[in-house]
């Protein structure tokens, strides 16, 4: 395959979608062209359920976050009945943005242009100088589909959202609910601008082949079994397997104390709302992402019965991943900013009564994933530079990059479905 003499943006997207070699990284245009960026916004981000925020970010009525998805801005707001609503951040008068900030708290939603005023349930309550026959009830804010899975808020911009989300929510709910994220608190949040296409950010998350070299801090919490199978009887690895089995046994016991679902599930590219959930014990003291698997917060989450509760990890297509641990949760959201730029938001959640300086210190809580994120940021930037180089050709995934293949396969299926429709 030769790609150096073809002017990249001019190629037809369908040709590129159809000729992708299974088990290989995508051609450059997918990561660099405006054409694919625009297609990704319409076919992926405007059509699928997107993890957007946590309920902990909007604990009280009137609390809101805004989410920018390409040209869209969406207001996610807590209403007066403790529900979560989502609206296009677009005034029904002459279209002005209503809220400019990323988060805040309001009594009503007041457009800054001519002060049309909406309740937090979207109804229009105040307008000036309209004729007497003006019907306010027809000019409420346009709602956006929104769902919370046990405190994790998803929005969908499509008129008809993917129909399988209820099913996925029902599968995930029993894993997430025991952590009671709905009543947790945000201990910290970071926004990282990445010099890379959003798919490179996701692909990087979907493999840990790079972890051994890139993530020394993160790896202290995981069993060093990368690349080995249970059949490997290398004498150096044997004791690690024994330790791992004992930790698995202990985790099974801990799960049985609360009827926590024990088995993982992997449906990354076999459904529209692709997901994976897995629950792994941690190494060392087995509690959390502290050095040597140590706890990072004294208060346990929700009804988690044991500090040694491993890492409940959830991967969702197209834009998120989550680590829920006994003493905190760390949740990740990726949004595209341009063909070669993305934003990764990381949110650390702890029990709502956990006090900074008493139960946790911020550096201890966040240092591993701050380090990991910035290491990943470098890797993604390097990958972007490489795929944008005229010398780039798609290369083969390894045997431990199955979830990268699953991500890309899911993505292409969704593009095909969009192009067909
Ligand atoms: O964040 C994840 O889901 C995992 C853990 C380390 C890298 N990544 C594959
Ligand atoms: Fe919002 Fe006029 S555009 S009040
Ligand atoms: Fe990484």
Residues with C-beta atoms within 5 A of ion ligand 3: 376
- For residue 315, the surrounding DSSP H or E stretch is strand 311-316
Answer yes or no: is pLDDT of 330 > 80.
yes
Q: Which residues pair with 104 in a beta bridge?
A: 64
The Cα 200–Cα 206 span in angstroms is 10
% of residues, the chain, pLDDT over 70: 96
Burial of 251: CB neighbours in 10 Å, binned 0-12, 13-18, 19+: buried
Together in a domain, 111 and 179:
no
Q: Is residue 316 scored above 60 in pLDDT? A: yes
Question: Residue 420: what pLDDT?
Answer: 83
Q: What pLDDT does 376 receive?
A: 98
Spatial distance between the Cα atoms of 2 and 27, rounded to a whole number of angstroms? 11
Across the chain, mean pLDDT equals 95
| Residue 58: pLDDT band with limits 50, 70, 90 | very high
Indicate which atom in ligand 2 lies nearest the CA of residue 92: 1
- Same domain? 72 vs 201: no
Q: Which ligand is nearest to the CA of 115?
A: 2
Verify whether ligand 2 is closer than 6 Å to residue 116 (CB atom): yes
φ/ψ of 253, rounded to 5, equals -60, -45
Range of the domain at 57: 49-161
**Mean pLDDT value of segment 19-36:** 97
Ligand 1: residue of 213, 225, 313, 316 to mutate (most ligand atoms within 8 A of CB) is: 313
Q: Is residue 74 classed as helix, strand or coil in its secondary structure? A: strand
Domain boundary at 111, 134, 161, which? 161
Domain boundary among the residues 120, 142, 161 is at 161
Residues 6+ apart with CB under 8 A from 122: 85, 87, 140, 141, 143
| Chosen domain end from 104, 139, 161 | 161
> Residue range 388-398: average pLDDT?
98
- Distances in Å between the Cα of 282 and the Cα atoms of 224, 226, 245, 246, 286 are 10, 13, 11, 11, 4
With the most atoms of ligand 1 within 8 angstroms of its CB, the residue from 221, 321, 398 to mutate is 321
Give me the pLDDT at residue 239, please: 87
Q: Which residue's CA is the closest to the ligand 1 atom numbered 2?
A: 205
CATH number of 363's domain: 3.90.380.10
Is-contact 311 302, C-beta < 8 A?
A: no
- Tell me, yes or no, whether 282 and 408 share the same domain: yes
Answer yes or no: is 76 within a domain.
Answer: yes
How distant is the alpha carbon of residue 259 from its chain centre? 26
Q: What is the pLDDT of residues 366-385, one digit of tens each?
A: 999 999 999 999 999 999 99
Separation of 374 CA from ligand 1 center, angstroms? 14
3-state secondary structure of 405: helix
Co-location of 41 and 84 in the same domain: no
Report ipTM for this prediction.
0.91
Phi and psi dihedrals of 299, rounded to 5?
A: -85, 130
Q: For residue 401, what are its two tokens?
A: 């990059």
Q: Looking at residue 11, what is its pLDDT?
A: 65
How far, in Å, from the CA of 316 to the mean position of ligand 1? 12
Residue 3 has pLDDT above 70, yes or no: no
- Ligand 3 center from residue 194 Cα (angstroms): 13
Token digits of residue 234 = 């290398």
* Domain total of the chain: 2
Ligand 2: does its nearest atom lie under 6 Å from the Cβ of 91?
Answer: yes
């Amino acid at each position: 395959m030769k790609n150096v003499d073809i002017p990249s943006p001019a190629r037809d997207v369908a040709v590129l979608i159809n000729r992708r070699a299974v088990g290989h990284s995508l051609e450059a245009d997918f990561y660099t062209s405006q054409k694919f960026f625009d297609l990704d916004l319409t076919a992926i981000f405007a059509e699928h359920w997107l993890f957007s925020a946590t309920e902990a970010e909007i604990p009280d009525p009137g609390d809101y976050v805004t989410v920018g998805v390409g040209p869209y801005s969406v207001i996610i707001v807590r209403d007066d009945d403790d529900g979560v609503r989502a609206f296009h951040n677009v005034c029904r008068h002459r279209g002005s943005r209503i809220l400019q900030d990323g988060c805040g708290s309001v009594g009503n939603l007041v457009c800054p242009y001519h002060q049309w005023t909406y309740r937090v349930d979207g109804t229009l309550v105040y307008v000036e100088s309209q004729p007497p026959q003006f019907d306010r009830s027809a000019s409420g804010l346009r709602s956006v589909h929104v769902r919370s899975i046990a405190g994790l808020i998803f929005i969908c911009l499509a008129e008809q959202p993917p129909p399988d989300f209820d099913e996925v929510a029902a599968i995930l709910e029993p894993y997430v609910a025991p952590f009671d994220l709905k009543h947790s608190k945000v201990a910290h949040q970071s926004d990282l601008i990445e010099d890379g296409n959003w798919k490179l950010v996701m692909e990087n998350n979907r493999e840990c082949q790079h972890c051994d070299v890139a993530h020394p801090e993160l790896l202290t919490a995981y069993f060093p079994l990368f690349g080995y199978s249970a059949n490997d009887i290398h004498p150096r690895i044997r004791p690690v397997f024994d330790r791992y089995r004992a930790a698995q046994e202990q985790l099974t016991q801990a799960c049985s104390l609360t009827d926590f679902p024990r088995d993982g599930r992997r449906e990354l590219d076999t459904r529209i709302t692709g997901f994976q959930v897995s629950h792994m014990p941690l190494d060392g003291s087995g509690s959390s992402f502290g050095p040597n698997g140590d706890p990072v917060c004294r208060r346990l989450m929700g009804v988690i019965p044991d500090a040694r509760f491993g890492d409940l990890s959830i991967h969702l297509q197209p834009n998120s991943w989550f680590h829920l641990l006994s003493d905190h949760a760390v949740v990740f959201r990726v949004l595209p900013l341009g063909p070669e730029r993305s934003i990764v938001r990381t949110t650390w959640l702890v029990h709502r009564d956990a006090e900074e300086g008493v139960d946790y210190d911020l550096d201890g809580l966040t240092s591993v994933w701050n380090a990991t994120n910035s290491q990943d940021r470098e890797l993604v930037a390097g990958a972007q530079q490489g795929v944008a180089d005229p010398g780039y050709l798609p290369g083969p995934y390894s045997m431990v990059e199955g979830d990268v293949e699953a991500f890309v396969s899911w993505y292409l299926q969704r593009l095909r479905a969009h192009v067909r429709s």
